[in-house]
Amino acid sequence: MRVQVAIIGAGPSGLLLGQLLHLAGIDAIIVEQKSSDYVLGRIRAGLLEQGTIDVLDRAGVAARLHAQGLVHGGLEICFDGVRHRIDLHGATGKNVTIYGQTEITKDLMDARAAAGAKTVYEAQEVSIGDFDGEQPKVRYRKDGVAHEVDCDFIAGCDGFHGVCRQSVPQAAIRTYERVYPFGWLGVLCDTPPVSEELIYVNHERGFALCTMRSRIRSRYYLQCALDEKIEAWPDARFWEELRSRLDSATAERLITGPSIEKSIAPLRSFVAEPMRFGRLFLAGDAAHIVPPTGAKGLNLAASDVHYLSAALIEHYASGATAELDAYSAKCLRRIWRAERFSWWMTNLLHRFPENGAFGQKIQIAELDYLVGSAAASAALAENYVGLPY
């Protein structure tokens, strides 16, 4: 098979890139190791920056988002038992929108199916090669049959554990990583959210977050030790612990119910540099991971796709390579700013045992400054709604 672009990975970044290239008349195939049901069943975040919504609009897949998404003009930070609102829209003129990543994936899958674009799910033994030359190749097995795809470019959208970054020679890539000494215990339940906007909680027992997926589906998180086991957290214990970290008024309003999904996720910061290797381009989690505190993971993937799709479209329209050559530098400038913000939010709100009582006092002092200073609140708001592309 011969295509112009081979995309490895059918998560949001791969599907979004495929949709934008399809609309531009560029022939692309998506190769995914998992089944479509598995990809669609992954429970992930869903807070979207305006820039991400703009990209989804350009891709023609945002109708349901605009109809069902929850637009938020602010967020709340709770410490010392008191909630304080940060006015995102007032400080920046922008909002964020709650719309689950699962729903975005479904919208993109439906658009790709309607277009009849080439997608291979449950591909086995996926490998890439010759991306340092003029004729890159993707190889895989499907239903016991070997396939080879010749292409001009490969887009590695296959996540942190994917084959694309692992195929790059170690001498050609540098990675930066910070692994945090705790995780997030998350619960998804079909109950009304406890608040109209997100509540970030700094508490002596650990961080907590109250968020949502819709007006009838809530998502709650607790900071927990990395060695915690799901079995040790029945629903009753989770709700009791969450209430203990909330302010009294919020705890009283909390509506609980049986969890429909429960998981523990470790937190890490990770960046791989560069993001281009000959005719291979990394995008999304294949190149970077952020702790979820700043809600930047999906949004960074969308900005990567924005830059990569524009570069490929320009190249096929005119033969130009300037944007392809600039891809890595453009992405990394925005990535490192998001990494900084996510690191700052994580350090501000979580309990770090090694910091002791002094560290906790410093956190409270910084939080007090943050909510009391218009300039500090505006800086948080500017980063939270998303820096410009």
Q: Which of 346, 347, 314 lies closest to 330, judged by CA?
A: 314
Catalytic: 384? Answer: yes
The DSSP-derived string for 2-53 is B-SEEEE--SHHHHHHHHHHHHTT--EEEE-SS-HHHHHH-----EE-HHHH
**Helices (DSSP H) in the chain: which residue ranges?**
12-23, 36-41, 50-58, 63-68, 88-92, 101-115, 163-166, 235-245, 248-253, 297-318, 322-349, 356-372, 374-385
Catalytic: 106? Answer: no
Q: Which residue has the tokens 């605009």?
A: 66
Catalytic: 94? Answer: no
Rounded Cα gap, residues 238 and 236, in angstroms = 5
* Structure tokens given for 99: 């719309």
Q: Which of 57, 59, 53 lies closest to 309, judged by CA?
A: 59
Catalytic: 72? Answer: yes
Q: Which of 40, 334, 3, 284 lies closest to 157, judged by CA?
A: 284
Rounded Cα gap, residues 218 and 210, in angstroms = 8
Q: Which of 136, 193, 291, 292 is catalytic?
A: 292
Q: Which residue has the tokens 């410009």?
A: 388
Q: Which of 72, 118, 306, 350 is catalytic?
A: 72
Angle ∠(297,168,296) on CA atoms, nearest 5:
5
Rounded Cα gap, residues 279 and 180, in angstroms = 34
Q: Which of 140, 200, 220, 307 is catalytic?
A: 200
Neighbouring C-beta atoms of residue 383, cutoff 10 Å: 19
Rounded Cα gap, residues 281 and 46, in angstroms = 25
Q: Which of 22, 296, 306, 350 is catalytic?
A: 296
**Is residue 92 exposed (0-12), middle (13-18) or buried (19+ Cβ within 10 Å)?**
middle
Neighbouring C-beta atoms of residue 6, cutoff 10 Å: 26
Q: Which of 180, 307, 316, 384 is catalytic?
A: 384
Beta strand 174-189 with 280-282: parallel, antiparallel or unpaired?
A: unpaired
Residues 142 and 123: beta-carbon distance below 8 Å: yes
- The set of catalytic residues is 72, 200, 292, 296, 384
